[in-house]
Structures are given as C-alpha cells and as structure tokens.
Chains A and B, each alone.
Chain A
Amino acid sequence: MGRYIIQRVLEAIPLLFLVTVATYFIMNLAPGGPLAIYLHNPHVTQSQLAILARQLGLNQPWYVRYFRWLWALLHGNWGYSYFTGQPVIQLIGERLPNTLILMSAAFTVALALGIPLGVYSAVRQYTPFDYSFSFLSFFLWAMPSFFFGLLLQIIFAVKLGWLPVAGMYSNFAPPSILELLRHLILPTLVLGLGSLAGWSRFMRSGLLEVIRQDYIRTAEAKGLSQRRVIWKHAFKNALLPIVTIIGMDLPSFFGGAVITEEIFSWPGMGRLFLSSLNDRDYPVQMAILVISAALLIFGNLLADLAYGFLDPRIQYR
C-alpha cells in the first residue's frame, strides 16, 4: 500500500507540471490581458500602461513569465495579484476558511440525506415514494442554482422572515456560531440539495444493480433479514460509484461555488476565482487552478484507496 501511494504521488508530479504549462499557455491565448480593463479608462495614459506592464513583467513573453512564476512557486512564493498587489496566498487565506465552512455543510447535508434516501428509494423501487423522490431529485438537479437561491431567499427571508437573505453574519448582532448557522442554511440547501439529488440517484442505481447479483439472492435465500442483506452485503459494493464521485468533488471544497457564493454574498473562493478570471489576474488564477488540480489528483488517489477497503477483491501493487 505504502509503495503504491508513493508511486502515485511521484506520477502526479509530471502531471501537475504539465497542468501548469497548459494552463499558463491557454490563459495567455485568451484575448485581452491583465491591462485590458484599463484600455478604455479615460484617465489611464499609454505611458502609464507601459509603466504598469513593466512593473508586472507583462512586457515579457509568456514562457519567460511562466518560468519566473514556476521558479518563485518552487521557492514557496505564490506571487502577487496583478489587480490588488496583495500576496496571492493572503487573498486565498482570507477566503478559504469561508469556503470550507460552506462546502463542508453542503457536503454533510448531501451525504447524510442523499445516501440513505438513495438506499430507501432503491429498496422501495416503483413505490409512490420512489416515484415522488425520483421526481423531486430530477427537479432539484435540474434547477439552476441562481434561480433556486433567489427563490429560497424570497420564500424564507423576504416572505417568511425566518432566515437572513445573504452574508455570513448579521450587521445588527455580534458575530456568533448561531448567526453563522442561520446564514449557512440557505446556501447550504442550494448546494447540498443539488448534490443530494445527484448522489441519491447514483446510490439508488448502484444498489439496484448490486441487489440483483447472485450473492445477494443467496443471502436472501439463507433467510437473512432485508436490513442485514442491504446494509451488510449490498451497501458497501454499491458505494463504489459514489466514492469516485466524491473523490472527484474534492477540488470543489477548495474552489467553492461561484454562483451560490455570489447570490448569497458568501465571501469565498468561488468569487475570488471569478473575479480573477474577469480581471485576467494570472497569479491568482494559476494558484487556484494548480491547487484544484492537486486536489483532484489527491481525491482520485483517496477514492482508489477507498476501493480497497470497500471491495476486498481490489489489490494494490
């Protein structure tokens, strides 16, 4: 197992290097550039732009800038935002905890409700519950998050007045865990219910496939209770697709949710990434993309390792 992990980590290094080259190259192919936003500012002169370009190193070819960025990164320096001048690591550090809070809450809701509901739906296949839950899942899955978010705001904040419209804390009360929880509910529902809908469908179809296997029929023939058959024999095997999806979702814990964060004014990574894209803020974009790529690789590794625990037939060499 240890050797397998080391091998996978070593394989990830050239992959990450290729990701950084490809990302930097594609980013620089996009029209405009970091100074494009100033092109139509009535006060910014040509000479001022030339000074800015020199200060930011934008007068160099992209590959020169790339290797400078890479060299700095290898020395632990993530660079400075072109737009605010602040260290990239500081910009990320300010927002990452907020994103982790939101994404963890959504993940918990999706996992805690999605898996049991998927199992229940599979066990009660073709019952009114199954039909209703399938309809609801597709409805939630198909609902655009900006629309769903605004809808929840109007119902629970504007009409009923139960919950705040947006933000992390109230402007009218001291910050507290309770305030944070109140503000978490609506964005968590938007993110969590979307994932819940998807995960419960995967769980349902995974379990339906497993419960038709011979070994399940054997277990039932031996007179085991349905609960024991499902939870002891079928559940672990049906989890494999879900584990893969969760592994792939790991980068979203870091990257945040652009639309939900914007609708609920949640000060997270999604908004930072969106603004860095709009502003062509290459150092911020690169940092977020590289960390996301690393997390994706790490998530896949974790998923692969989890397979071994869930299915003893899988061996690591």
Chain B
Amino acid sequence: MKKMLAVFSLAVLTATVAGCGQQSAAGSASPPLVEAINQNPDSITPALGSLAVDAVPESFMDMGLIYLTPQDTWAPGVASKWSESADGLTYTFDLNPKAVWSDGTPLTSKDIIYTWHYMTNPKISILYNTGWNYVKNVRAEGLHKVVFTLTQPYAPFYSTVGSTTIVPAHIFSRWTPNQINHGIYNKGVPVDDGPYVLSKWASDEDLVLTPNAHWWGPPVHISKIILDIVPNTDTQFNMLATGKLTIGSIPPSDVGEESSLHGYSINNTLQPTYDLIQLDEDHFLKSLRVRRALDWATPKQQIVTDIMHGMAVVAHGDQVPGGYWYDPHVPRRGFSLSKATALLASDGFSKGPGGWLEKDGQELEIPIWTGATSHSETEIAQVLSADWEKIGVYAPVQTAGWSVVFGNGTPQHPGPQVNGKDEALIFSWGQGVFPDDTIDFNSEFVPKSPLQPSPQENGERYINATMDKLQSEGVTLTTRPARREVYNKIQLLEQKTLPLIFLFWYKDASAVSSHLHGYTVTTFGTSPVWDWSLQ
C-alpha cells in the first residue's frame, strides 16, 4: 500500500511540475522567434567554420558589402553603391557612412583592407578563400571608398568576395592567428555589423540573438531570435506539432503529415543542390555511347516519385531551375531500356557466357558506390542497379562511409575514385546558385595521377576542350547576358557529352508559423530579417 502511495505521489509531483511550467510559459509576454537548426555551429569566426549551419547565425549577425536577395539580385549592404570597370579588373565600392560595428566603432575602408589581409593570411585556418586569390590589391580612397584590383577578370567576384563577411580590424588585429584559430572570437559577445548580436551560445543547446543597438540599417521588429539546436528531424516535427517552433524543417519521412501541423504554412523550396551519378571514365565509361545508354536506363522520374516522395524535381543539368542561368530549352533524355540496349549493341557489346554484356572478352561491370549513412542514396543505388542489370550491365551496389567513397584508400585497396576501374558514384552536390562549374568539369581539375586525392574535383576525368573554353569565358566575361549565353552552351554540352548523369534537384519542406509575417524563402535565400515581424 505504501509503495502504491509512493508511486501515486510521484505521479502527482510529475503532473504538478508539468503544470507549473505551462503556467509560466503562458505568462510570457513577448514570445521570441524560435528557429530549429540541426547542428551546433562549429565556428562563427569569419571563414573558419566548415558547416552549412554556420550561415544561419551569420545571416543575422553579418552584413557584407552587398547581399543576395530572394529574387536573385544584389542589394546594398555595407556598400551603398558599387561598380566594375569594363575590363573586369577593377571593382569599386562606396561604403555607407552610417555603417558601424556593434560596439559603436565606425566601419571604414580600413576594415575592408584588413579583411583582404585576413582572408589571405596563411597562418589563419581559413577553410576556403575562393575569389580572394584573384585579388591583387585593395586600395582605400578615403574612409568610405575601396577599390579592388584583380589579377585577371573574375566574373563571380560579387558572389565570392563582394558578399563575404567583413572582419572588424580593431578587434581581430589585437589577436594572434593562433588565438583566432582557437576560437577567441566565439567567446563572449562577438562584434559584428549585422542587425543582431549573439548574446548567448550554449553549445549543442541554442544560440540567442538580440537586436544590435548600433545597427545602422532598416529597423528590426523581432526582439529575440533563438536558434534551437535540434539534431533529430522527428523531434523537430514533434516540436512543430506542439507549436514551439516558429520555423522548422519537415523531414522527408513526415512529408504528407503536414496536415497535423496547425498554425503553420508549408513552403516547398527548391534547393541549389542536386543528386548525381559520377561516371569515372576509366575504361568502358570513356565511351559516350555507354554513358548515354546508362542515362537512358536511369529512371529519374521514378526515383523522384517513389524514393524522394516528390520532394525533388528531375535534373537535366547543373544550373538550378528557375534561376537566371538555367536553360529550360536543353533537350531531355527520358527513360528507355530499349534505347539503352540498342546504344550498347551499336557500341559492340554482346551478351557473354556470364549473362552480362561484354566487349573484347571483358565484362561491362560498373559497381555503384554510395555513402552507407544515406538511406535514400542507398535506395537509389538499388533501383539503379536493377535497371542497369536489365540492359546487361553488371552493377553491384557498394556502400561505405563517405570518406571511403571519396578517399584514396590504401595502395592495396585504393578508393573507388582512384582505382583505375569503371565505377559509378551517387552523391549530392551543388555549386550554389552561381553558375561557375569550372572545378567540376574542367580538364585542369582531373586528378593528375591515380592516387591524386580529391579535391581535384573532376573525379570522373571528363576532358573536353570546348567545355574548358566555355568555362574560361564564363568566369571572365563581364556582362550577365553574355555569360548566360555561355552557360546555355555549357548546359547543352553537358546534355550531349554527359560528364555526369544528373538525377534530381532537392526540395526542402519547411513549416513557418502563421504568426510570422514578411518572411519569404526561395531557392536563393530568405527575405531580410528586418522585413520579419511576429504578430
């Protein structure tokens, strides 16, 4: 009896505790905006972080010279005006004289020059400084004007340099590279130039942002933003179901369950990330007919419908659909096993004693590799294997950790990318919303030796002189229409010569509270935070 009483008392205590919290939550006057993120940022020190999630707090805290709008256009940030010379070698930015750091220090051309030195300092563990390597000099013309001089015309300058985070010279110049590398900036309240400042960062728990008292741009309307770190997508969905998140992602497994979320609108946004099959051109895969046959035998629409549950669209090239650089007129190759079979026969393949196609006594064997941790990629590999084997290609599925799939392996067991055999690798990729794909398909990026490691990114060893020439034009031509013409030609060349088999573009489903106004999200990003309000 006493034990029963103890259990009852525990239950009463539990209910009391549960009830107490609910009362205090209801009494809260000004609710914050709570956005779920799936990982703890590794660093918010400029250019030192390596995770995609780092961009979320930084989008509230940092303002570059210019920023990209959700409509895929450039808008003034710290720079109120900007221009480029006709030869593409000089970029000039007029800084907004109102711009100040969050500690009240004026933001001047000195900070831009310091940023250049910071981004090119080999003692600082900069993960990537794409674009800065083309900067020859940064010159100040007074306190509020800077002029960049490049070593060669570089068209993606705005997306790689112009929109990058500016480093506060008066803060960072006090520190040694070693202190910067060990995250001294991440401690305390980092000084930034964006609309919000980081007021709390509890590792693996949350980041709290509050309005920057010295913000010089349009006023913000949300008094507190909490980035709640929720690593499990099902947990995130349950938090949405209880109304505890303002913005959260819906995992693919829960797509279709959105109707159980009340008070949310659902956004399905195309992501600038595509899934692909990399065909390592080592032996039979050097033949364009073989690659085309495999493309015909790839059931892209079935993969989108059955495996991705419609949360993707079939890809026909590497420029994101709907974007400025996308060419909708590129011819498409559908799914036809008969066309695939005919192409292979015309290339001299015939059925061998083992039941698989062969040529010159060698079987057409193309193992399909993908990461063991990715459930959907594994399913895609299995579907692909079944269809490729229907046309006589021996295509066993191989799964391993991504570092094995992309790594060198050992001299005895080289990785699939470097073993000198025909292999197919399935993974996702994206150069962003910007068109430059030089590192993917340019012959300069073919691994120089069998054991040359990535990131010589042209792992498929695709070599095409026309592609090289077009890509060179794509990054050096200075007008957008001229560049678009070049990228249209590149997309057509991709369709004809198949450096990769493009599978699909990912869609992201997110739930946004109906209390949040002014928030829009597109493939290119979200509306600026000063447009958001909670009602």
Contacts and interface: CB of A to CB of B under 8 A. Distances in A.
A178 B22 CA distance: 10
A101 interface: no
A271 B231 contact: yes
Contacts of A154: 238
A157 B404 CA distance: 40
B253 to A, nearest CB: 11
A120 B6 CA distance: 15
A85 to B, nearest CB: 5
A155 B186 CA distance: 39
Contact of A265 (B231, B406, B407, B456): B231
Contact of A43 (B128, B230, B242, B427): B128
B127 A265 contact: no
B50 A95 contact: no
Interface string B39-78: 0101100001010000000000000000000000000000
Interface stretch (B147-155, B197-205, B479-487): B197-205
A163 interface: yes
A7 interface: no
Interface in A38-88: 38-46, 48-49, 51-52, 55, 80, 83-87
B31 interface: yes
A44 B234 contact: no
B231 A40 contact: no
B407 A39 contact: yes
A165 interface: yes
Nearest to A39: B454
Interface residues on B, range: 35 or more
B128 A48 contact: yes
B183 A41 contact: no
Given A48-B126, A167-B205, A267-B203, A161 B17 contact: no
A91 B203 contact: yes
A84 B204 contact: no
A37 interface: yes
A251 B473 CA distance: 60
Contacts of B403: 31-33, 36-37, 39, 280
Contact of A178 (B21, B206, B235, B457): B21
B186 A86 contact: yes
Contacts of B231: 262, 265, 271
B18 A38 contact: no
A86 B234 contact: no
Contacts of B401: 31-32
B232 A262 contact: yes
Q: Which among A40, A45, A150, A272 has the highest number of chain B CB atoms within 10 Å?
A: A40
B3 interface: yes
Contacts of A161: 22, 242
B357 interface: no
A236 interface: no
B252 interface: no
Contacts of A51: 122, 125
B228 A162 contact: no
Contacts of A38: 50, 127, 455
B223 to A, nearest CB: 13
A43 B454 contact: no
A10 interface: no
Interface stretch (A18-26, A179-187, A285-293): A179-187
A272 B204 contact: yes
Given A49-B455, A167-B205, A185 B230 contact: no
A116 interface: yes
Contact of B21 (A40, A52, A182, A280): A182
Contacts of B430: 42
A85 B228 contact: no
Contacts of B232: 166, 262-263, 265
Contacts of B25: 170, 172-173
A94 B205 CA distance: 10
B406 A52 contact: no
Given A37-B403, A48-B127, A166-B235, A84 B183 contact: yes
Contacts of B128: 41, 43-45, 48
Contact of B406 (A40, A120, A168): A40
B135 to A, nearest CB: 16
Interface string B258-271: 00000000000000
A52 B455 contact: no
Contacts of A37: 50, 403
A84 B42 contact: yes
A42 B439 contact: yes
B145 to A, nearest CB: 29
Contacts of A48: 126-129
A264 interface: yes
B431 A157 contact: no
A158 interface: yes
Given A39-B454, A42-B439, A172-B28, A165 B206 contact: no
B205 A31 contact: no
A271 B231 CA distance: 9
Nearest to B48: A85
A213 interface: no
Nearest to A163: B18
B15 A158 contact: no
Contacts of A39: 403, 406-407, 453-455
Q: Which among B129, B204, B404 has the highest number of chain A CB atoms within 10 Å?
A: B204
Q: Which 6 A-B pairs have the closest CB atoms?
A: A32-B403, A36-B403, A43-B128, A267-B204, A267-B205, A173-B24
Given A48-B129, A172-B244, 14 more contacts: A37-B403, A39-B407, A39-B453, A40-B402, A40-B457, A83-B50, A85-B43, A85-B48, A95-B203, A150-B238, A167-B206, A172-B31, A173-B21, A181-B17
16 contacts: A31-B409, A36-B402, A38-B455, A39-B403, A48-B126, A48-B128, A51-B122, A84-B183, A85-B182, A86-B182, A166-B230, A167-B206, A172-B25, A179-B21, A265-B205, A268-B204
Interface of B: 3, 14-15, 17-18, 20-22, 24-25, 27-28, 31-32, 34, 40, 42-43, 48, 50, 122, 125-130, 181-183, 186, 202-206, 226, 228-232, 234-235, 238-239, 241-242, 244, 400-404, 406-407, 409, 427, 429-431, 439-440, 453-457
Interface of A: 31-33, 36-46, 48-49, 51-52, 55, 80, 83-87, 91, 94-95, 116, 120, 150, 153-154, 157-158, 161-168, 170-174, 176, 178-179, 181-182, 185, 262-265, 267-268, 271-272, 275, 280
